[in-house]
Structure 1
């Protein structure tokens, strides 16, 4: 029988990459990683032709997850180095689930890299070794599932006994007797104090959740993570079931933290368990708090001050764009993108839309004309703001005066023989007065924020009855995430050279050979000159990778460009190919399509914002009906009108 650990050619160098992993926090601080790496070093020392190029380690990462930073980095590193093996102490270090682990190993085999598992004596280059690898992965998954079942059973038992099974405690609580068998929730006094103060602001002082959040931030009572409170965050805390005296383990729902359920709505990992927790509030206070939560002002919502044109951007599908957000920024999305038959309308970057519309407004109208068009009584607005500013200053002066009485005057009275009982009553009264003034100050400042010029934009959109029509004809949006190579060309101003011909190729090839080893050229099916020309074509014309099939495998071309850019090869190639001053600017994607803006003032004809503004008579009755068909007709009419005006100033195309 063949040895699954044999070297393909005895004595031939075997360059390898090592990988270690531990899944628990205790293991990270222990010796697990050290023991594994010691085994890898022993393998390297066992034969002079064994070489570990680099060891990658995942710390505190489960083997059941498919996204592991170090393992992902190892795969990328192996693709562009001379490594032929990946060495692990045992198969279960690579993964605990059969499908993803075998799929990963097959992908590594496709680039000529095989797995060596030391404990099992496996080398997957050998057919017998591959068969043994499959069996070992299956055994690792079976063992992982047994561990999960035991862990789940233990957590269920702990929860039924009133203990806290796993995870961080709810806000207002801490975990006592932390250990493998006993952990219970008790009140976290600091966080409970914040909850009590928040309830006082909402119930007793009748502040909105937003005003209460602002006041907590002013007092320095921040969230558990040390960040300021927001309306939404405070709403979650004050509507939590823990205020009713219980917490739910494996709670079904729709949020990111909800437990997974099957088709019948039954939790997959075990039954839902209710755990009693110590009370933070009396039943009377809970009832009073719940009574405030029906107030409209306490419902989490986004203000249109954040998205002034929300609902006023008309899409080609007949729906409207509304404001929303994502981790990378504010957006306007078409309402038609959701539902059983979603439309294909592109999203619009909010800042770009708002800046473009403001520019059209400022270009088309002077400040005086804009005020006249909006029919906005600015005198009343200015008077209201002046009154609020005066009230703010009065409150600040009163707070300062009372603080000075407490700090300086009251001690002088006491020193002069004032009765201590009277002094204590005076001190209490002054503190109550300061507290009341501070609450009023919060409300005054909130009202001032609502009168901020950012809110003026919303008033202008509303008063002008502004409609925005995106012209998506020939609009090309950058696909996917931003390309680093394109960003580099834009930032440095480096032009993109023309197609590299056969006469230029020997010099280009010389640059490539000076920066990369022989494996870079042997283990690829790409024609490197064609691949380079595909990369240049994409940068000149804004093509997407999938459109480059005529030059070769698009994914392979993309990966090759990433390697060249990461290693500095791309920069060297561009310096050489543009040294004679040739080339053209990199293709620049527009962030939003052309926007046609219709302003319909309270008096007069609608105005198409151009320079200068032009009065038009679009069939606004189509828009008034509110049906998608009529909205599409209005959208099409405006686009035809705008395009007609671009070629002729004498009149408009016929209305629909």
Structure 2
């Protein structure tokens, strides 16, 4: 790029401050004043402002709030601005990788970047070199702080100290705030005399007594604790699940705490993992704690808890949509097995008491087979349609390939610069050999070597970006292969496999209305059609002509006051078709007793089955849903793991596009 900044350029500013900067009083307005003043001094036209407040510089731009909007506009034709102004390089990113990918992508689109506090931009090679130096400094600063902080935490944990965070329930932080002295100890009264304060160990010991000695289940134990005025750490009423989790915690069971526990990855404030599934900031450390219960007491507690524990679900009872369905109250549904009869349901978690006796939501249960059948039909339709898959993948494919930037050209330019740098180093070494001041020559050579090292790093990054773009292109071709696989396997997947597909699609299902009640009129009549997988015949004149001889032959004697056979049969078929009760039939069909008596006589004699067999090939209508469902809003994302060729490293995953669906309608891409 050889274009030079001029007074006619249109500029936008991007503002970002971290949470720590906000605490120090440096808000968005502070950065905005700097960028506005800089733009005015250059004589540029200020077009727009983009800002992310309280966002870490280590976060990729795709995961921020407002920066993706900027990147969307920069791809428009005609382009709405020419240069992006930031107050400092750390506004773009403290990680070398995030910084240069963002700058390169703007360069490919013909947009420059200007940094206010350094007065630099990338319109010239000198400016780009200065920007590269500043970005490298920001990255080294971030890495140095991170390594120093994590190393100190690791050392403290290995020595048995408290590395930070919340203490397990029943324990407290002793000497908190004293550098190098804080430890975890039991939350007991430090005084020898009578204590009026209720400590967490008192609550756990009381719960142990209620469950082990008084044989109460967790719900009744929680009710007893609440009645006695004992509360959780946050001052809330105890719930059965919360109490069980506290009693089954690693601290209570084993008298130890696992710092940087990989099992907490993905949770809020959980452990961050590297590409190998190991803690990213240091090794896991087991911290021994003072024991609350003896091993014998823990064994008695676990036996008492097992009395009310549910058995592990079998394969047939897996609920693929558990925690993926949301009711009108905003809470998610979880799988539930029927106790009174075979079958599976989904129940809203809003039905679970926050504490015994608390109000619960009014969301109805949903039949698992009906809901999963509706959703799985939609998933199969999606994955068996390569055109729809391609549409859904377009967003992440565009972002992953960086709008088809010229990676080969960039690598070639960097190769040329590295070669020039090698020649400069060689020439400087020749000069140094003849120089009378070897110290100054060595310093100059060191500066050239550092510059060469930065160029090599940029070349490696450019090659990696090129490889990811090629991988994204390959994924697009693999969509067809995925569609071929879906045509043969989707309908035969086990419940566990369906659950995995739901995870990969990140399905979210919202019930867009109340759950209709199950039709109580679904009696032996509709059961007859369901068992034979038949629709309900439409009794028009041609259909009646086929079965009329059967009913006339069944008459023992003619009666003028008898309800005509056709009228009775029409009433029976209407009841089956609409799922209504006998009493809900229109009055013109006659008295209910006459209709039910005639129908039961037909069934007992076999006449009804004969008539239905004759009408089997006639036009028919489907039965009403046994478990009717409300309108559904279905949302999902395409995950690269759904593709046939999965990338070797987790960091090679790419952004995913969303898809929405209403009810039974086909999924439509939301772009």
TM bracket (short chain): 0.3 to 0.5
Query: Normalized against structure 2, the TM-score is what?
Result: 0.45
